[in-house]
Structure 1
Amino acid sequence: MASNNIPAKINKLVALKSSTKFRDVVKPVTEPTPKLGDGEVLVKNKFVGINASDLNYAAGRYDPNAKYPLDIGFEALGEVVAAGSKSKYKAGQAVMYCQYGAFCDYKVVDSEKVIPLPSVKAEFLPFILSGNTASISLDKVGEIKEGETVLITAAAGGTGQIAVQWAKLKGCHVIGTCSSPEKVKFLKDIGCDRPVDYTKENLRDVLKKEYPKGVDVVYETIGGDMFDTCVESLAVHGRLIIIGYIESYESGKGLQPSPTLATLPGKLLSKSASVRGFFLPQFIQHYGPYVMKQIQYFNEGKLKSLVDNGEKAPGGPFKGLDKVVDAVEYLFSKKSIGKILVEL
């Protein structure tokens, strides 16, 4: 590949030390472009995805041995601009990938770990991390079946929007929690049977009154009181999938013990129910097939993909690496709908 396609330097974001104060510790750096290996590609990132876990990762909570400065960001979508001699791809190919250090303008990636795309389209970005988290967890860990009742917490968010639609595609009745009338409308638009705005309705009361037999599967991302309510609302043989505990992410103390944990064994035993964890990197073999299935559904009009570039946010729209911090703070403001992304 012609050398003029390879920039001399790349720009990226790093966390300088462990902290949940994302803005205080994240800084831009410039460094020489890494040498391209035979089986690698150099991707020019066009869009990077924002996740609640960006804050947790920068704080070193996923790797107690994390070395700082730490490359941050998980996912990006862009175009191959240069390829090694043994790479599967050529310049011009649209691709996306999940790899630590995605908050950068160019990234060297193993060609085996990128997923080819029909085009560089922002609406594809939610599928690799958020969409795969939703679809793989519901299928492989939640074991959802047609006719079951499924509760999705933070249903109008990046993973929530895909989880709602995936469960509907599997023939489930879907309840979705959210925090505004605007999000209720969005959830109805994507097929959610019972949106619950928890700022106006008490979720525990709604579930007790309208779903007296309980909920078969819960997709739980919030933690705290929400986790307790969801455990209480499980049906016989119910399964609760722990996707995250976002309520504790901004706390310097991290995960706070739930009052329910002390009595959890009895609550589960009496219903033959279970609580199951899900961590996407341990399901890497499913990444490609599940992204392809989501793209297929999207092209067929069966799956909607809403992206939020922060147009209505105080620091938006999000364009350029320097907007990543604004975008992360926007996610925690609970005002976003769909998948937050930053255009580069």
Structure 2
Amino acid sequence: MAPGSFAEYTVVPAHIATLVPAVTPEYLTLLVSGTTAYISLKELGGLEEGKKVLVTAAAGGTGQFAVQLAKKAKCHVIGTCSSAQKSAFLRSIGCDRPIDYSMERVGPVLRQEYPGGVDVVYESVGGAMFDLAVQALAIKGRLIVIGFISGYQTPTGLSPVRAETLPAKLLQKSASVRGFFLNHYLSEYREAMGHLVKMCASGDLVCQVDLGDLSAGGRFTGLEAVFRAVDYMYMGRNTGKVVVELPHSVNSKL
């Protein structure tokens, strides 16, 4: 959680480092993605047994954790994804109703199968998906915004908010929209990270990593592969957290 991404080495104070049981990429998934899902759902989700939870981009780096944590809270989980492979992955981690939007439309599925709406939406796509999520909210429903990947490549990174319609839609349902940015919840970070590391180590949490083996150029190895990894993520090809491997270089003087 310190500045210095896209580097082979970085120096951080020991007190902000996290001790992990093994040097494996699975633990990297927890640093931002795992803690974002854990803290946001704990602080803003109000999860209870039987609640219906919709997770967008559910097979992605953060969505995978939202699905699993909601299931552990005994919720009914719906997850959107873009392929049959991702749909199968979601079922494997407990998702009750994967919606592969390459094969079926999200809006009609939600209206037909969940006419009473969903209680919590964990939203990271933005744009048209955000609009569908607002429409799908149940009475007193909660929508948690943790990102908007569909707008990251626009000049401002933001899409216009239709202020003339959103308030009415929320008012009609006594619903709410809350934004979550991890840096504003760092007081909760250490506890969350410790809990997630134990879950991962015990096998109680699936921490899916995508090293790019199925990408056009093969596995993401070395800093020169970062641009491919980012493109791969923006194209929605990844299942789980995208990780770039950095080869170890041994210096006998160290």
User: Which TM-score band applies after superposition, normalised by the shorter structure?
Assistant: over 0.9
Partner of 1:150: 53
User: 8 Å contact 2:21–2:201 — kept in the other structure?
Assistant: no
For residue 295 of structure 1, the aligned residue among 197, 214, 222 is: 197
Partner of 1:325: 227
Partner of 1:181: 84
Secondary structure in 1 matching 2:10:
strand
Q: Give the RMSD, CA atoms, in angstroms.
A: 1.2
Q: Distance in 1 between matches of 2:146 and 2:54?
A: 13
Q: Normalized per residue, which structure has more strand? A: 1
Q: Which runs of 5+ in 2 are unaligned?
A: 247-254
Cα shift at 1:253: 4.0
Who wins on radius of gyration, i.e. which is larger?
Answer: 1
Cα shift at 1:258: 4.5
For residue 120 of structure 1, the aligned residue among 23, 32, 35 is: 23
Cα shift at 1:269: 1.0
Q: Output aligned runs, 1:189-338, within 5 Å.
A: 189-259=92-162, 261-338=163-240
Q: Output aligned runs, 1:18-97, within 5 Å.
A: none
Q: Which runs of 5+ in 1 are unaligned?
A: 1-97
User: 8 Å contact 1:307–1:340 — kept in the other structure?
Assistant: yes
Q: Distance in 2 between matches of 1:322 and 1:299?
A: 31
For residue 133 of structure 1, the aligned residue among 6, 24, 36 is: 36
More displaced, 283-292 or 156-165? Answer: 283-292
TM-score scaled by length of structure 2: 0.93
Bigger RCO (CA 8 Å, 6+ sep): 2
Partner of 2:251: none
Asked if residue 164 in structure 1 is aligned to residue 102 in structure 2, the reply is no
Cα shift at 1:279: 0.3
Q: Provide Cα deviations, 1:272-297, integer angstroms capped at 9, x if missing partner.
A: 11000000011112222112212222
Give the letter for the 2:198 counterpart: Q
Q: Distance in 2 between matches of 1:102 and 1:264?
A: 36
Cα shift at 1:146: 2.1
User: 8 Å contact 1:225–1:258 — kept in the other structure?
Assistant: no
User: 8 Å contact 1:128–1:287 — kept in the other structure?
Assistant: no
Give the letter for the 2:236 counterpart: K
**Alignment coverage as a number of residue pairs:** 246
Cα shift at 1:315: 2.7
Partner of 1:102: 5
TM-score scaled by length of structure 1: 0.69
Q: Normalized per residue, which structure has more helix? A: 2
Cα shift at 1:252: 2.0
Secondary structure in 1 matching 2:115:
coil
Q: Distance in 2 between matches of 1:238 and 1:309?
A: 36
Secondary structure in 1 matching 2:212:
coil
